[in-house]
Chains A and B, each alone.
Chain A
C-alpha cells in the first residue's frame, strides 16, 4: 500500500468517529440545520484535501475542529457573530473568577431544566460558547482548546471562567422569572 493510501485509510479511522461531535458543535455555532450540514461537509472536504499537512502524532481532533471553526468564522454567519463581539471581551477578565456563593447555585442548577440551560448557552457570545462546549461537552483539555481556537491557555481559562459565570447569572435570572 502506498503512503498516500495509508494516509487515506488513517483519515477514515480518525475523522468518521468525530462526525457526531463535529455536527453538534457546528449546530451550536450556526444555530441552523442547513448551515451546520454545509459546514460539516465543507470541513470534511477541506480536511481530506489538507490531510497530507496533518502531522501524525499531533492532535487530530483539535486539527479538524480548528478547520470547522475557521470555516465557520469565514462564513456569513460567522463573520456576523464575530462583528458583534466587543474588542475587549478577553481583556476585561484576566483573573479566574470563583463560583459565586451568594446564589444558592446547586439549588437553581437542580431546578433548571435542560431547555433553560440550552437557551442560556445559545445566548452566550460565540467566543465563550465555543470554549465551554469544547471543554464540557467534548471534554477537551485546555491545551486542545487552545490549539482548536488558536489562543493561549490563559485566555482559554479566562474565557471559560467568564462563560460559566455568565451561564450562572443567566440561569439564576431565568429561575427567578419562572
Chain B
C-alpha cells in the first residue's frame, strides 16, 4: 500500500489522537515503512523542540504573591468575617512562601520529568528507525550481557524469558544526559520494547513519581534497583510493559 494515506495520520499518531484501533494498525505499518517511520521521527523531534523552546517564561515572585493573595483574600471574604488577629498576616505570608517554594520545586521537577521521558521516547523511535537497531544480535541473555563489559561502568542482570511471551532481540549502548547506559530491545508479538538501564542520579525523575500522561502512545514503566534506573518503553499494551518490568525487577534484585 502507498505510504500517503498513512502519512496523513502521522501527526495525529504523534499527538496521541488516533483511536486505539487505528493506533495499533499504524504501529504495525510503521514496522515495515521506513518513510513513515522517518516522518514520525521528524514529528516527534519537532514536538520536542517546540516543547523545549516553548517552556520559556517564569513568572516573578511578586506576581505569584499577588495572585495567591487575591485568591486567598476572595476565599476569606466568602467565609465568616475574619477577626483581626495579629498573627494572621504572618501565617498568610508563611503559607504564601511555602506555596511558592513548593510550586518552584514541583514545577522544575515536572518539566525535567517530561524532558527525560520525551528523550527516552525519541531514543526508542530513533532506534527502531535505524537500519541497525542493535549492535549485539542475540536472543541469549548470556551473550548480550557480557557484550556490555568494558563499554559501561556498571553491570546488570537480565531475566530468563523461557515460558514468557517476550523475546530478547539484542542490545546497544545508549546515552541519556551525557551518561552511557544499556538499551535492550525485546519483542512481544509484533511490538518492540526498549529497556534502558542507566546509573541512578539524583537529578533524574524518581521512580515513585507519577509518570506523565503519554501523548506519544507509548507505555512507560520505570523503577530503581541496586543503584540502577530502569526504563521500559514501547507501544505494546501497558500490562505487557508492566509484565516485562516485573521480570526485570525480579532479575535485578537477585
Contact = CB atoms under 8 A, between A and B. Distances in A.
Interface of A: 4-5, 8-9, 11-12, 15-17, 19-20, 23-24, 27-28, 36-37, 40-41, 44-45, 48, 95-96, 98-99, 101, 105-106, 109-110, 112, 114, 117-118, 121, 132-133, 135-137, 139, 141-142, 157, 160-161, 164, 167-168
- Specify the main secondary structure of chain B where it touches its partner: helix
B12 interface: yes
A109 B45 contact: yes
- Specify the main secondary structure of chain A where it touches its partner: helix
Contact of A161 (B11, B39, B79): B11
Contacts of A15: 71
Contacts of B11: 96, 99, 157, 160-161, 164
Given A117-B52, A168-B46, 7 more contacts: A16-B68, A20-B107, A28-B54, A99-B46, A101-B38, A105-B46, A137-B50
Nearest to B9: A96
B45 A114 contact: no
Contacts of A37: 59-60, 63
Given A12-B71, A37-B63, A99-B43, A121 B54 contact: yes
A24 B49 contact: no
A110 B45 contact: yes
A20 B56 contact: no
Q: Which interface residue of B10, B59, B60 has the most chain A CB atoms within 10 A? A: B59
A98 B5 CA distance: 10
A19 B110 CA distance: 14
Contacts of A27: 56-57
A19 B55 contact: no
Nearest to A161: B11
A118 B71 contact: no
Contact of B75 (A9, A105, A114, A167): A9
Interface residues of B, number: 49
Contacts of B78: 4-5, 8
B52 A114 contact: yes
Given A16-B99, A121-B53, A44 B67 contact: yes
Given A24-B55, A98-B39, A105-B42, A41 B17 contact: no
A118 B57 contact: no
A80 B107 CA distance: 32
Nearest to B107: A20
Contact of B10 (A17, A45, A99, A142): A99
A146 to B, nearest CB: 11
B8 interface: yes
B15 interface: yes
Interface in B53-109: 53-60, 63-64, 66-68, 70-72, 74-75, 78-79, 99, 103, 106-107
A37 B60 CA distance: 9
A137 B55 contact: yes
Q: Which interface residue of B8, B38, B43, B55 has the most chain A CB atoms within 10 A? A: B55
B59 A142 contact: no
B71 A48 contact: yes
Given A5-B78, A142-B17, A41 B56 contact: no
Given A4-B78, A12-B71, A24 B46 contact: no
Contacts of B42: 99, 105-106, 109
A41 B71 contact: no
A157 B12 contact: yes
A48 B76 CA distance: 13
Contacts of B59: 19-20, 23, 37, 40
Interface string B112-138: 000000000000000000000000000
Contacts of B63: 23, 37, 40-41
Interface string B36-48: 0011011101110
A156 to B, nearest CB: 10
